[in-house]
């Protein structure tokens, strides 16, 4: 199996798909999948999947998301210190600074930013670092759960008990970000305290709000159950397009097989 021209090592089924949508002229989402080539390096670094949703105008968002995914890949490949979690957090912090510097060097792009969710799977352990409202889901044993929390105005209202979680998905202000790479002097990166132990059959879904804003969690669950990863990606993007596709749509799906 190959993804974006890369041959995927056994143990994980991987697929990705991105679409500009029906109302945008260019795609401000970026994504990347990478895994170490040598067995020794793969044992240490494993697999990396990154997704980003840029903001800041016609080209600004596109540049911000590109810088984010390329920086995470660069840092993870070249500056890996043996701790996947720490490396991911550092990579997002570096991307934050680079996006800001790019905006300073190119005044037309000032104010650009991007969400970013980066996932590393190393020897059946999953680590992630996250800023913004792109999401990481887990499907396990027929149930779906969200591993990330949205850095949005409505997300804060949910956490404070002002808005119910079930109402947040349709709230008119649900896409107003409170954190993004490139925005603010510092960035607070979310990450779990402990790695998640990956079980056979686990399916991880990274997606931008162009998908989850139109497709419910239960619809995502139904689409991925029993379907090859590539087919599930196609089905979900098609569903978002059928509902108007007002935003760019990007999804990456990783399904754990036998070790």
pLDDT confidence tier of residue 134, bands split at 50, 70 and 90? very high
| pLDDT > 60? residue 259 | no
pLDDT confidence tier of residue 178, bands split at 50, 70 and 90? confident
Q: What integer pLDDT is reported at residue 203 of this predicted model?
A: 98
**Region 132-143 average pLDDT:** 97
pLDDT in tens, 15-46: 999 999 999 989 999 999 999 889 999 999 99
Q: Give the integer Cα–Cα distance in Å for 2 and 8.
A: 6
Q: What integer pLDDT is reported at residue 76 of this predicted model?
A: 97
| pLDDT > 80? residue 127 | yes
Q: Give the integer Cα–Cα distance in Å for 72 and 91.
A: 5
Contact assessment for residue 74 and residue 66, using Cβ atoms and an 8 Å cutoff: no
Contact assessment for residue 136 and residue 126, using Cβ atoms and an 8 Å cutoff: no
Q: What integer pLDDT is reported at residue 87 of this predicted model?
A: 97
Q: Is 68 exposed, middle or buried (0-12, 13-18, 19+ CB in 10 A)?
A: buried
Show Cβ contacts of residue 114 under 8 Å, excluding neighbours closer than 6 positions: 30, 52, 53, 54, 55, 61, 64, 65, 67, 68, 99, 132, 180, 181, 182
**Region 118-142 average pLDDT:** 97
Can you give the pTM of this predicted structure? 0.92
| pLDDT > 60? residue 167 | no
Q: What integer pLDDT is reported at residue 5 of this predicted model?
A: 60
Q: What integer pLDDT is reported at residue 235 of this predicted model?
A: 98
Q: Give the integer Cα–Cα distance in Å for 47 and 33.
A: 8
| pLDDT > 70? residue 4 | no
| pLDDT > 90? residue 169 | no
| pLDDT > 60? residue 171 | no
The CATH topology of domain 2-256 is Phosphatase 2c; domain 1 (3.60.40)
pLDDT in tens, 140-166: 999 999 999 998 766 566 566 665 666
pLDDT in tens, 69-124: 999 999 999 989 899 999 999 999 999 999 999 999 998 888 899 999 999 999 99
Q: Which helix (H) or strand (E) holds 61?
A: helix 60-78
pLDDT in tens, 209-223: 999 999 999 999 999
* Residue 111 zone, left/alpha/beta (φ > 0; ψ -120 to 50; rest): left
Q: What integer pLDDT is reported at residue 115 of this predicted model?
A: 97
pLDDT in tens, 52-65: 999 976 678 999 99
Identify which of 32, 33, 45 has the alpha carbon closest to the alpha carbon of residue 8. 33
């Amino acid at each position: 199996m190959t993804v974006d021209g890369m041959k995927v090592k056994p143990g994980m089924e991987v697929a990705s798909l991105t679409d500009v949508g029906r109302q945008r002229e260019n795609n401000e989402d970026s994504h990347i999948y990478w895994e170490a080539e040598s067995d020794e390096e793969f044992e240490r670094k494993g697999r990396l999947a990154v997704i980003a949703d840029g903001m800041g105008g016609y080209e600004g968002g596109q540049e911000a998301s590109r810088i984010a995914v390329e920086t995470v890949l660069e840092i993870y490949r070249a500056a890996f210190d043996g701790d996947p979690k720490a490396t991911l957090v550092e990579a997002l912090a570096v991307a934050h600074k680079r996006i800001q510097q790019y905006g300073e060097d190119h005044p037309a792009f000032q104010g650009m930013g991007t969400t970013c969710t980066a996932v590393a799977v190393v020897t059946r352990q999953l680590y992630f670092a996250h800023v913004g409202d792109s999401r990481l889901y887990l499907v396990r044993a027929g149930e779906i759960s969200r591993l990330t929390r949205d850095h949005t105005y409505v997300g804060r209202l949910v956490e404070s008990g002002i808005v119910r979680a079930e109402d947040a998905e349709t709230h008119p202000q649900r896409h107003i970000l409170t954190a993004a790479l490139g925005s603010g002097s510092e960035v607070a990166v979310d990450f779990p305290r402990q790695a998640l132990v990956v079980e056979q059959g686990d399916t991880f879904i990274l997606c931008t709000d162009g998908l989850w804003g139109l497709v419910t969690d239960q619809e995502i669950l139904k689409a991925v159950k029993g379907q090859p990863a590539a087919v599930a990606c196609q089905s979900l993007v098609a569903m978002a397009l059928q509902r108007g596709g007002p935003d760019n749509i990007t999804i990456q799906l990783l399904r754990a097989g036998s070790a």
